[in-house]
Amino acid sequence: MMLQWDDTRVRAMDCETSGVKPEYALQPWRHTKGEMWITSFVHLIKEGGKFRDIGGLGLPLERPSDDHVKKMIAEFFREVEENDQYVVGWNLAYDAAVMIAYGFEEEVFRTKWLDGMLLWRHWFIEPEYDKDRGKKKPYGLKDCFAELLPELPAYNDDIDFHDPDPAVRQRLHRYNVRDSKAAFGFARHWFKLLQEYPQRLKAALIEAECIPFIAQANLRGIPVDTLYAKELSGCRSCSLPRSWRYWLRMGSPRRSSAHRSSWPRCCTTTGSCRSTPTIR
């Protein structure tokens, strides 16, 4: 676990995506049907105080081929593993889900992730945060840019994420490079602040270790034992929140009873529940 920031142990990464419809760009599970694809892939390192970016545009521009994009992704993971680096970015659960959709699940789970958004949240959020609406705020990359560099103009104007025109795609790629540099710099900023509070930093790093699991769930959903879920949904006197009971009644792939231990205890599991009809 890296508890002191080291530029040589960090590699920033970001990808931009598009799809058959604009809204498909943020739905990586559509990649298997050829309805979503990477348009720009960037990873960069800092050498001698300067950034060096690697990667490029997906080719052909109209609909990038998997082979071309996979070569860039494979090179990225190879560099990360050979140099024993952390991958830094912003809201990395999405990028990791895209990597899994392209067939790099094992690499995603072997990688050490460092999300700048999580670092910022762990620096800012304090107890009772969720109960005080006045403290809530967005944690997007551009929000961080505006907070830390308010004197600079925004750099995301006139960016078209879906137009395959060569000039538009080149502008998109430059934007992606700048996003990666910003994520690297802002993550470094929040990490160094958290270094003074090792336990808070460790909490952020532990949460980042969950990114592959979140990405996997976002891509494929969460398996549920529907037979056991039906039992829980029919228990009127148990302590499960109503929203949980509704979710448990939704159709999902069945999971074995060995996973039941992850559910909260209620009267059904303790044997004190009477037979009651299913809640409608």
What's the pTM? 0.80
| Radius of gyration of the chain, Cα coordinates, nearest whole angstrom | 22
Question: Hey, what domains does the chain have and what are their CATH numbers?
Answer: 7-220 (3.30.420.10), 226-270 (no CATH)
Cross-strand bridge partners of residue 96: none
Average predicted confidence (pLDDT) for the chain: 85
The pLDDT confidence band at residue 1, using thresholds 50, 70 and 90, is confident
Burial class (CB in 10 A: 0-12, 13-18, 19+), 59: middle
Nearest to 120 by CA among 144, 88, 92, 97: 144
Taking the C-alpha atoms of residue 200 and residue 123, their distance in angstroms, rounded to an integer, is 8
**Predicted pLDDT of residue 233:** 67
Please confirm whether the linkage preceding 60 is cis (ω < 30° from 0).
Answer: yes
